[in-house]
Amino acid sequence: MSYPQLTGAYEVDHFIPLEIGGSNDIKNLWLEPASPTPGFHQKDQFENFEHGQVCNGTISVTEAQRRMVSDWYLYWQQEVGGVTATTSGVQFVSAPVPAAAAAPAHQAATMPEASPGFYTSSYHTAKYWYPSSCSDWQSLSKAYLEAFPTLEALLEKYPGRSESPGC
């Protein structure tokens, strides 16, 4: 890597993010570019999404780690970012996955059978929740987006939220 680079062109990233059990060990770090898309901004979105999924019990820590090191981009497309014109035709260079990052086969969990049913923002000023059938949830900041399997689970964590008036 030549130096210096433009500010924001790269970040030192974790294969397994700290928020889902990763470490600062050098074997868990790599230099990730911002572009082409998907870059570190999109991976950061997915890291936050996975953290929320683990915290609300939708997936296990082991599953979140497995998804992160196996093909985070695929899961980001399916659950957070969608497929956009900027992601088509991009050639990806695979970074080596540290051996410690891969979960043993007997510990691998399965994907949830259903998509999350409700969404809200964890941002401190957020007031609303959104059913998955309402596309308005997609306008929420991906950095704060939280998904829940049931409305009861969402309201348990965020009592006082009401359904978005747009839904």
Q: How do the pLDDT tens digits run along the chain, 167 residues long?
A: 777 888 888 888 998 999 999 999 999 998 888 887 788 888 888 898 899 999 988 899 999 999 888 888 888 888 876 543 233 333 233 333 343 333 333 333 333 334 578 989 887 788 999 998 888 887 777 767 888 889 999 999 999 999 998 88
Per-residue exposure over 30-48, b if at least 16 CB sit within 10 Å of its own CB, e if not: bebbbeeebbbbbbbbbbb
pLDDT score at 80 = 76
d(CA 130, CA 164) in angstroms, rounded, equals 6
User: 28 is written with which tokens?
Assistant: 């868990």
Distance, first Cα to last Cα, the chain: 48
pLDDT score at 115 = 59
d(CA 87, CA 37) in angstroms, rounded, equals 6
d(CA 98, CA 108) in angstroms, rounded, equals 17
pLDDT score at 21 = 93
User: 36 is written with which tokens?
Assistant: 């082409």
pLDDT score at 82 = 53
pLDDT score at 81 = 67
pLDDT score at 161 = 94
Residue for token pair 């609303």: 128
pLDDT score at 159 = 93
d(CA 102, CA 130) in angstroms, rounded, equals 34
Q: Are 116 and 149 in contact (CB under 8 A)?
A: yes
